Amino acid sequence: MASTATALVPPEVLARYEAVIGLEVHVQLATRTKIFCACPTSFGAPPNTNVCPVCLGLPGALPVLNRQAVEMAVKAALALNCTIRQPYSQFARKNYFYPDLPKGYQISQYDKPLAEHGWLEILVDGKRKRIGITRVHLEDDAGKSLHEGFRDSDRYTYVDLNRCGTPLIEIVSEPDMRSADEAYAYLNELKLVMQYAEVSSCDMEKGHLRCDANVSVRPRGQQTFGTKTEVKNLNSFRFLKQALEYEIARQIAVIESGGVITQETRLYNPDTGETVAMRTKEHAHDYRYFPEPDLLPLRISDAWLERIRASMPELPAQKRARFVEQYGLREYDAQVLTLSRALSDYFERAAAASRDPRAVANWVMVDLLGALKAEGKEITESPVSPEQLAELVDLIVSGEISGKLAKEIFSKMFATGESARTIMEREGLRQISDAETLSRIIDEVLAANPKQVEQYRGGKTGVLGFFVGQVMKATRGQANPQLVNQLLKEKLG
Ligand SMILES: [Zn+2]
């Protein structure tokens, strides 16, 4: 909440500081089964039905690593320009006690993570910036505590263990972001990359993408970092931005009033737009990490790595560059058209079917996305297929319809799902580009308006617009405007 932030510190004081932000993002991998057992990962099953001795942590049950989870994690790491750890990475136990963690520990990776030293490029205010990726590691998820929704929720907390053992990757960034806007752009690009790489659907509402932030501030020009806090519960893009703006302002207000920042974990409350202290920051030694004795070190052979590398799909940055190169799009347009894979696929199908890809890009961004937004629909629900949109664009290119008629036809296509040509022919909406027909209509208009003809010939050339309007009226807007202009000037001059 920007208003909450500016209420804490006046803008001129805010401007004297810069923020230092690093993000820890958990991404749920899109495997069918859990990371160490064969239970399904499906969302929305009745509580405690997708469980087995392994994910319940029953004595004697042993984990078996899911190969698909490893492949997806490697894909994600490669998409983030990371180096895969050789000769092996290692799983570790992270010990803590919590009701939704039946094993009493999480299986994660600690000093030997799967991948390290990557980067991701973001675009903010037209400027490109590389954000370092410290590491990508594999781990299992915990269950879920349910504090409400039951008749006796005032007295009891329920636990659903279906999510226990769901495969996650944790992606830790370097503290390279300097504003809430940069953090927002980073998370957005990260989500896109994960979706393009087909490792996660990143559905935030289902908890597939979860984000914590490490935040500190320092006076501009200072090199050393200030004390950081960790802000949790940033589970939507809006919350991330609001929480960071609030936390940055809060820290500046503390320093300005002569206080010091406490290293602690804070929870974002979306209802108030504020962060509140939750607990003092825990340290790695609190978790008593040690190598997981039930799992072998994870070796990714060169051959396996090369196979995964070869199977990588085109990533958003590559696609944007190709759109600019291949279709002559502006960089901004390429950015918009790659905001989701479904949208970029739609554009490419339409562009491939049309004679004017740049015009197609415009129609997709302005008319189609506008119409979809007005009805609260996704691109995948578009009543106008890519091929139909391409046909409409080509009718303009060939001069059969004007741009104005095309808009009218488009709204009918959107409402009915019919093709442009069907609508055009049934309703007689073809553009009149036949000079003989137009000539006859123009003669009639001129004959009916002798006074205006006299005015034009007397030097008031502004009345030309009046004649164009009359011809358009007579043709129900179907006359080719360039041709009308040309013929009128010939006849009047
Ligand atoms: Zn299981």
Segment 159-175 mean pLDDT: 97
Tell me if 143 sits within 8 A of 134, measured CB to CB: no
Predicted confidence at residue 492, as pLDDT, reads 86
* CA 299 – ligand 1 centroid, Å: 24
* CA 49 – ligand 1 centroid, Å: 10
3-state class (DSSP) for residue 168: strand
Highest mean pLDDT among 49-63, 283-297, 431-445: 49-63
Is residue 208 predicted with pLDDT exceeding 70? yes
* CA 444 – ligand 1 centroid, Å: 83
* CA 161 – ligand 1 centroid, Å: 10
Predicted confidence at residue 134, as pLDDT, reads 98
Three-state SS sequence of 283-301: CHHHHCCEECCCCCCECCC
Is residue 229 predicted with pLDDT exceeding 90? yes
CA separation, residue 163 to residues 70, 167, 337, 404 (Å): 18, 9, 34, 54
* CA 15 – ligand 1 centroid, Å: 51
Predicted confidence at residue 2, as pLDDT, reads 47
Residue 364 per-residue DSSP state: I
* CA 163 – ligand 1 centroid, Å: 9
Tell me if 370 sits within 8 A of 396, measured CB to CB: no
Tell me the average pLDDT of the chain: 92
* CA 202 – ligand 1 centroid, Å: 22
Q: Residue 276: exposed, middle, or buried by beta-carbon count in 10 A (0-12, 13-18, 19+)?
A: exposed
CA separation, residue 311 to residues 114, 308, 357 (Å): 19, 5, 28
Q: What confidence category does residue 149 fall into, taking pLDDT thresholds of 50, 70 and 90? A: confident
Residue-by-residue DSSP string for 389-423: HHHHHHHHHTTSS-HHHHHHHHHHHHHH---HHHH
Beta strands in 177-288 (DSSP E): 209-219, 229-232, 264-269, 274-280
Residue-by-residue DSSP string for 55-97: TTT-TT------HHHHHHHHHHHHHTTPEEPSS-B-EEEEE--
* CA 326 – ligand 1 centroid, Å: 48
The span from the CA of 129 to the CA of 81, in Å, is 15
The span from the CA of 379 to the CA of 372, in Å, is 7
Is residue 6 predicted with pLDDT exceeding 70? no
3-state class (DSSP) for residue 341: helix
* β pairing state of 274-280 and 167-173: unpaired
Is residue 91 predicted with pLDDT exceeding 80? yes
Predicted confidence at residue 437, as pLDDT, reads 87
3-state class (DSSP) for residue 132: strand
Name the strand (E) or helix (H) holding 117.
Answer: strand 115-124
Tell me the pTM: 0.83
* CA 32 – ligand 1 centroid, Å: 12
* CA 461 – ligand 1 centroid, Å: 83
Is residue 39 predicted with pLDDT exceeding 60? yes
* CA 51 – ligand 1 centroid, Å: 4
Tokens of 446: 């001129």
Predicted confidence at residue 249, as pLDDT, reads 94
* β pairing state of 83-84 and 115-124: antiparallel
Q: What confidence category does residue 3 fall into, taking pLDDT thresholds of 50, 70 and 90? A: low
The span from the CA of 83 to the CA of 86, in Å, is 9
* CA 55 – ligand 1 centroid, Å: 4
CA separation, residue 397 to residues 39, 356, 390 (Å): 55, 8, 10
Which is more confidently placed, 477 or 4? 477
CA separation, residue 243 to residues 117, 188, 281 (Å): 28, 16, 18
3-state class (DSSP) for residue 281: coil
Is residue 1 predicted with pLDDT exceeding 50? no
* CA 102 – ligand 1 centroid, Å: 12
Largest CA distance in the chain: 103
Residue pointed to by tokens 């009916």: 448
Segment 107-114 mean pLDDT: 97
Tell me if 122 sits within 8 A of 182, measured CB to CB: yes
Beta-bridge partners for 277: 266
All structural domains of the chain, each given as residue ranges with its CATH number in brackets, are 2-304 (no CATH), 314-426 (no CATH), 435-492 (1.10.10.410)
* β pairing state of 229-232 and 264-269: parallel
State pLDDT tens for residues 395-419.
998 878 888 889 999 999 999 999 9
3-state class (DSSP) for residue 121: strand
* CA 445 – ligand 1 centroid, Å: 82
Tell me if 29 sits within 8 A of 268, measured CB to CB: no
* CA 37 – ligand 1 centroid, Å: 5
Beta-bridge partners for 144: 160
Is residue 10 predicted with pLDDT exceeding 70? yes
Q: Is 238 left (phi over 0), alpha (psi -120 to 50) or beta?
A: alpha
The span from the CA of 443 to the CA of 436, in Å, is 11
* CA 381 – ligand 1 centroid, Å: 36
